Amino acid sequence: MARVGISRLSPGWHLDHGTLSKEGPVDDLITREQYANFELELEWKIGNAGNSGIFYRGTREYDHIYWSGPEYQLLDDANASDGKSRLTAAAAAYALYGPPAGIVKPADQWNTTRLIVNGNHVEHWLNGQKVVEYELSSPDWKARVAASKFKAYPNYGLAAKRLHRHPRRPPGTLSIRHIRIRELTPAQAGAQ
């Protein structure tokens, strides 16, 4: 696994001893490179009632990244309003696939995320457990998107084939460290 290069450190983000942190609203972090098939690992901790996320396979087709690309939710489940639903809880594929309860650690404690995107196959891991798994473009995916707030965006999750974004900008505190990515090749598709 290689360390992830960030194309620019937006105002409001701070780097201290290998940990990226923010305390309020900031611009997105964007990776220097784009990745089609990848395994991303990182550790994160979020403040009380914090809400953020990692977008992948997004485009600039719309005004907001969340109208085009799926999101791995980073959340304080116990105190953020999105924590009331499994579909919007920590590690969810936001509003589409929810993880089981009880795996995310409380606010201000480190969690470990692993995100695998290989072709249409996607896995969300949280603290060593696979919590969400789905196939982009599958009938199930299409039905869930059609029944969600993303139905107005017909290319949602399907247009882009590369990762190029990182956490979004809601207020609150968020720290990220040990960010590593490995580009996957088609030969590795079945080896996960």
Q: What confidence tens digit (pLDDT) does each residue in 57-106 have?
A: 877 776 777 766 899 999 999 999 999 999 999 999 999 999 999 999 99
Q: 58: which residues sit within 8 A by CB, 6+ positions away?
A: 65, 66, 68, 69, 160, 164, 165
Q: Name the residue among 181, 188, 185 with its Cα closest to residue 5.
A: 181
Phi/psi region, residue 147 (left: phi>0; alpha: psi -120 to 50; beta: rest), is alpha
pLDDT of residue 166: 53
* Range with lowest mean pLDDT among 14-28, 37-51, 101-115, 176-190: 176-190
The encoded tokens of residue 114 equal 């692993």
Determine the Cα–Cα distance for residues 68 and 78; give it in Å rounded to an integer.
28
Determine the Cα–Cα distance for residues 108 and 136; give it in Å rounded to an integer.
32
Q: Is 141 helix (H, G, I), strand (E, B) or coil?
A: helix
pTM (two decimals): 0.88
pLDDT of residue 61: 72
Amino acid at 55: F
- Residue 128 pLDDT > 70, yes or no? yes
Banded pLDDT at 170 (limits 50, 70, 90): low
Burial class of residue 17 in the structure, from the number of CB atoms within 10 Å of its CB (0-12 exposed, 13-18 middle, 19+ buried): exposed
